[in-house]
Amino acid sequence: MTRKQKRLAVIGGGMSFIVAAVLLVMFAFSNSVAYFYMPADLASNPVPPGTRIRLGGLVGEGSVVRGAGSTVRFAVTDASGDLVHVRFTGILPDLFREGQGVVTEGTFESGSDVFTADTVLAKHDEKYMPKDVADRLKQQGLWKEEQAAK
C-alpha cells in the first residue's frame, strides 16, 4: 500500500466507527427514551399499551392501598382532576407520601387502564421536588410557595 492508501484506510476506519456510533445513538433514541406525561395529558392523548413513559403528578390523597405482599396501588392526579391508577411492586422511596409529587416509570398493559410502574421516584430530600412535576404544577397553579421554600 502506498502512504496515501494507508492514510485513506485509517481515515475510512475512523469515520465508519463514528458513523456506526451516530446510527447507534439514533436507533437508541428512537427505542429507549421515555416521554413525560401527566394525567391530564393521558386523558386527552392516550398512549398505546406497551409504550414506556414517565408518569408524574401528585399522589392522590387516600389512594394508597397496600395489598398483601409487596404490591402497592396508588393514584396519580393533577390539577385537572384526572386520575391514573398505578400498580407497583417493590419498595417505595422514603419520601413517597400522599399529596406529594411523584414520578413513576413503566407501561400500560393492553386492555387495562392501570399503569404498571417498575420505578417510582419521589423527592430526594425536603428541599427537592421532581422538576418535571414542579414545572407543570406551577403552570397549573397548584404550586405552593411554602412547598418550594421548605
Partner 1 sequence: MIIEIGHYALILALATAIIVSLVPLIGARRVDQAMMDVGPIGSVVLFALVAFSFGVLTYAHVVSDFSVKNVWENSHSLMPLIYKYSGVWGNHEGSMMLWLLILALFSALVAVFGRNLPETLKANVLSVQAWISVAFILFILLTSNPFARLDPAPAEGKDLNPILQDIGLAIHPPLLYLGYVGFSVCFSFAVAALIEGRIDAAWARWVRPWTLAAWTFLTLGIAMGSYWAYYELGWGGWWFWDPVENASFMPWLAGTALLHSALVMEKREALKIWTVLLAILTFSLSLMGTFLVRSGVLTSVHAFASDPSRGVFILCILLLFIGGALSLFAFRAPRLTAGGLFAPISREGALVVNNLILTVACGTVLTGTLYPLVLETLTNDKISVGPPFFNMTFGLLMAPLLVIVPFGPLLAWKRGDLLGALQRLYAVAALAFVAAVVFFYLQHGGPVMSVLGLAAGLFLVLGAIADLWYRAGVGKQPLGIAWRRLKGLPRSAFGTALAHAGLGISVLGIVAVSTFQTEHVLQMKQGEVTDAGGYTLRFDGMKKATGPNYTEDRGHFTIARGGVDVADVWSAKRIYTAGQMPTTEAGILTFGASQLYVSLGDPTDDGGIVVRIWWKPYILCIWGGALVMALGGFVSLSDRRLRVGAPRRKAKALQPVMEPAE
Q: Which residues contact partner 1 by CB under 8 A?
A: 6, 9-10, 14, 17-18, 20-21, 24-25, 27-29, 31-36, 54, 66, 68-70, 89-92, 94-95, 105, 124-128, 130-132
Closest approach, Cβ 69 to partner 1, in A, equals 5
- In the bound state with partner 1, the residue whose beta carbon lies nearer, of 75 and 103, is 103
Closest approach, Cβ 106 to partner 1, in A, equals 12
d(CA 16, CA 18): 5
Question: CA separation (Å) from 99 to 6, 62, 65, 122?
Answer: 66, 9, 14, 11
Collapsing DSSP to helix, strand or coil, 67 comes out as coil
65 contact partners, CB below 8 Å, separation of at least 6: 72, 73, 74
Closest approach, Cβ 49 to partner 1, in A, equals 19
- In the bound state with partner 1, the residue whose beta carbon lies nearer, of 29 and 111, is 29
DSSP 83-144: EEEEEEES---TT--TTSEEEEEEEEPTT--EEEEEEEE--SSTT---HHHHHHHHHHT---
Closest approach, Cβ 111 to partner 1, in A, equals 25
- In the bound state with partner 1, the residue whose beta carbon lies nearer, of 94 and 109, is 94
- In the bound state with partner 1, the residue whose beta carbon lies nearer, of 81 and 149, is 149
